[in-house]
Amino acid sequence: MTRERGTALLGTLIIGFAVVLLVGQALVTIGRISSAATTAEETARYAATWAARHGDAADAEQIAQSMAPDARVHAATTSDGIAVIVEVDVSLIGPEGTPLLRVVTGRALVPVSQYRSVP
């Protein structure tokens, strides 16, 4: 009887440890993707807002690149305003330890203020 309890306890501990590892990896993955998404969105929004009020698309690209140096940045002036797209690569660990690369994108479109000063 004691031997069966010990085996059951050992099995429960092993399964519990495996579950904790899987849940921990999932939480780390969610955190990294969430952080990258926040960085991309805030960078795009700030760069587009600044350019719409004070500059042009080239200024927006320069600002976004300085805020997120490892990101790919695209900025353009459209009929609706200044559009900025920021793409951030997120490296993750997949099943069985295989590396995965995911791209997180932040977009912002800010209308150009008609009251801004023109240089």
Mean local confidence (pLDDT), 6-24: 85
Q: How far is CA 20 from CA 33, 47, 62, in A?
A: 20, 40, 43
Sheet holding 81-93, edge to edge: 72-78, 81-93, 99-110
Please give the Cα distance from 27 to 14 (Å, whole number).
20
Over 70: is that where the pLDDT of 117 sits? no
Q: Pick the range with the lowest mean pLDDT from 2-16, 28-42, 44-58, 74-88.
A: 2-16
**57-71: pLDDT as tens digits:** 898 999 999 999 999
Q: What is the mean pLDDT of residues 72-84?
A: 92
Lowest mean pLDDT of 16-20, 80-84, 93-97, 106-110, name the range: 93-97
End-to-end CA gap in the chain = 87
Q: Give the Å distances, CA to CA, from 2 to 5, 8, 14, 50, 78.
A: 5, 10, 18, 71, 75
User: So what's the pLDDT on residue 118?
Assistant: 57
Residues 6+ away with beta carbon under 8 Å from 24: none
State the Cα–Cα distance between residues 119 and 116, nearest whole angstrom.
10
Distance (Å, whole) CA 64 – CA 45? 9
Q: Average pLDDT in the 69-75 region?
A: 93
d(CA 93, CA 4) in angstroms, rounded, equals 37
pLDDT at 52 over 80: yes
